[in-house]
Structure 1
Amino acid sequence: MTNRQKLIAAILLFLGVFSLGVAGFKYFGGPEATLLDSIYMTAITISTIGYGEAIDLRHNPTARVFTIFFIILSLGSIAFAVSSITAFIVEGELKDIIRRRKMDKEISRLKDHYIVCGSDETAQTVIQELLLTRRKFVVIEPSREKLEKLQSLGHFPYIEGEPSEDEILLKAGIKQARGILLSLPSDELNLYVTLTARSLNPRLRIVSKGIDLKSHAKMKKAGADSVISPTFIGGMRMVSEMIRPSVTTFLDMMLRDKEKVLRVEEVTVKADSKLVGQTLQESRLKERSDILLVAIKKAASGEYQFNPPGDYVITAGDVLIFIGSPEAVQNLEKITA
């Protein structure tokens, strides 16, 4: 029996003992004893305070025998209740409940956030990157033990539950989320959660891990926007280390430097942004010291303009691709919004 179950049992036992006392004193007190008198007698007997008796039991031996056994029963139930409450508080379950409620409130306020499903090495890398780049996210994992290990990566909200369940995904705020990242133990689970997530939020961006390359097409048909193969990425990294080692070293410095976090980021220009209609030279984006504009994905054609010239006219829906810090991303989002 867990401490929480013991606490519930102690409360129920106390209520049962109290009800027994009220019924007993009402019975032995006769018609003259009111319900309030019986409650009063029960309260002073259980608490062993010993105020004056509201029901006279001096000439009723049977009632006195009942009172003796009731006192012994009361002391036992109080001792059990005190030990259960102490264990509940000392062993941290009350603290966990308070922390869980606080976290649930934090999750309910999330908007335009990301949902991470899983706790394997891939998921851990995802979590570390989201923490470093200061993104809002919530983790879903059914194993409490694995969730506790993930907490060593940093503070973030999480939900203990199956990511394949609609209720859990809704609790994670999937309808308000920007995207979901799936790194579950099997392709079948990733495929099932992809179907579920897409049905709950048709606008959601879904990125899933695909262990078997043959499963990628099925996942995309199910609604995944992108499917990532760890083996393919690993192979590409190995050959990059061989033929372009300086580039991989530079990228590693960007990814692993925790003091100065730099990433290749993207920001979409909104329709009501003040940048719309301006040239890059007029916007002075290329002159900013906190970002390095690398390319623009054109809204009209979807083509990429690498190292765009100063006379390029910015339009609504253009995606600016640049190298910058999390702070630079936030500043640029304010301008493009």
Structure 2
Amino acid sequence: MGDMEELRRKLVNAFILIVFIFVSGVMGYVWLEGWSFFDALYMTVITLASVGYGETHELSANGRLFTIFLIVIGMGAFVYAISMVTALIIEGELNGYLRRKKMKAKIDKLHSHYIICGVGSVGRHVIDELYKTNRAFVAIDKDIVQLDKIHCKESILFIQGDASEDDILIQAGIKRAAGLVCALPSDKDNLFIVITAKSLNPTIRIVTRAMEDDSIPKLRKAGADSIVSANAIGGMRMASEMIRPKVVSFLDKMLRSQDASLRVEELSLGRESTLIGKTLREANINDATGLLVIATNNDQSGEYRHNPKSNYVFKNDDVLIVIGNAEQVNECRKKFNVR
């Protein structure tokens, strides 16, 4: 973006230079030869355009010297302006094409990634969290200005377009994606995206934003797995700030601080996990990775166990709720073969 801005600035300067040369040419002929404004303008145009129609009136020696000066300076300014226009067209189009092609190649290689629809005030916070926790994702938005705001971060992949269109979601790898976030400010738009996404990938997990409480049952019926109500979350947050401010402060520092690395994460146990059949004591996850297991959940039973005891036996489809940093989570995934 910086190079393009510099190119545009040079183009504006070249245009100003050409205008200045035209004005100087007209004033020069009026002053040196005593011509009328129209005759001076005509002579300036045919001189700079190198048409070669001949002199409007007989030129004096000073007039001819001025004409030579005008031709040399004018042609230089025109060549400079044309080179800037050419560079603006070629570099702008070429860079845009190469960037889109490079992003498409990277997106085509993604699997089990996330798609963020809407890069507004909410979508950017979703992107920040995924970026900090090294999750693969693709952002979609119609507005290139919004996309430029996130493009300053390295390695962020995005597509400019309407997320409710099948082609755009397919470009984002909807059929290979693990999840999709609808973060648009309109419940109607989010509803349409949920319907479209589920038709393309019935198993994808969808989390959507809801502005109005009346929209929640419609979004759930359309296939949204989780619905986040801005009004409900805001109300709960305000109540928590009033009655448990220290807890809120702790969670904010852990989850939202730019410097903090701790996160509450979840790890899923499949049949291939080496944790299955072991007790929490035998697994010794805290010593092995530094993670703290604060709860477990089983997808089959839906049961949560808070602060599980040391004799708890891990089972297939268990989900561990843990506190730790990204390195510790990745270490646990590798060491115990969990997702």
Taking structure 1 as the reference length, what is the TM-score of the superposition? 0.73
Q: Does 1:330 align with 2:300?
A: no
Tell me the secondary structure at the aligned position of residue 112 of structure 1. coil
Number of the residue aligned with 1:87: 88
SS of 2:185 mapped into structure 1: coil
**How far does the alpha carbon of each residue in 1:197-253 deviate from its partner, in whole angstroms, 9 at most, with x for none?**
011111100000010101101100000001111111111111111100100110111
* Alpha-carbon offset, residue 290 of structure 1: 2.1
Q: Deviations over 1:161-217 (max 9, x none)?
A: 100000100100011101000011311110011000011111100000010101101
Q: What secondary structure is seen at the aligned counterpart in 1 of 2:176?
A: coil
TM-superposed deviation, 1:274: 1.2
- Matching residue of 2:172: 172
Deviations 1:11-46 (A, max 9, x none): xxxxxxxxxxxxxxxxxxxxxxxxxxxxxxxxxxxx
Amino acid at match of 1:319: V
Structure 2: distance between partners of 1:211 and 1:306 = 32
Q: Secondary structure at the match of 2:258?
A: coil
8 Å Cα contact 1:144/1:160 also seen in 2: yes
* TM-superposed deviation, 1:128: 0.8
The question of whether the paired residues in 2 share the 8 Å contact of 1:131 and 1:154 is answered with no
8 A Cα contact 2:183 2:190, kept in partner = yes
- What amino acid is aligned across from residue 179 of structure 1 in structure 2? G
> How far 1:256 sits from its partner (Å)?
2.8
Q: Aligned pair in 2 of structure 1 residues 94, 299: CA closer, same or farther (>3 Å)?
A: closer
Matches within 5 A, 1:132-281: 132-152=132-152, 155-281=155-281
Percent of matched pairs sharing the same residue? 44
Correspondence list, 1:294-333, <5 A: 294-333=294-333
The corresponding residue for 1:115 is 115
* 2:87 partner letter: T
- Are the aligned partners of 2:289 and 2:331 in contact in 1 as well (CA < 8 Å)? no
Offset of residue 303 of structure 1: 0.6
Are 1:298 and 1:305, in contact at CA under 8 Å, matched by a contact in 2? no
Gaps in structure 2 of 5+ consecutive residues: 1-80
Matches of 2:101 and 2:289, distance apart in 1: 43
C-alpha contact 1:295 1:304 (8 A) present in aligned 2? yes
Contact 1:299 1:315 survives alignment (8 Å): no
Q: Distance in 2 between matches of 1:209 and 1:153?
A: 24
Aligned partner of 1:64 in structure 2 is none
Q: Is the 8 A contact 2:267 2:319 kept in 1?
A: yes
Q: Distance in 2 between matches of 1:238 and 1:86?
A: 54
Q: Is the 8 A contact 1:294 1:307 kept in 2?
A: yes
TM superposition score normalised by structure 2: 0.72
1:93, distance to aligned residue in structure 2 (A): 2.4
Give the letter aligned to residue 204 of structure 1. Answer: I
Shift of 1:321: 0.4
In structure 2, the CA distance between the partners of 1:151 and 1:257, relative to structure 1 (3 Å rule), is same
Cα distance per residue 1:103-141 (max 9 Å; x no partner): 111111111110000022111111111111111100000
Residue 152 of structure 1, CA deviation? 4.1
Q: Distance in 1 between matches of 2:236 and 2:291?
A: 27
Change (3 A) 1:153 1:247: farther
- Distance across 2 between alignment mates of 1:233 and 1:218: 19
SS in 2 for 1:319: strand
Contact 1:267 1:336 in 2 (8 A): no
- The separation in 2 between residues aligned to 1:247 and 1:237, in whole angstroms, is 11
Equivalent runs, 1:25-64 vs 2, <5 Å: none
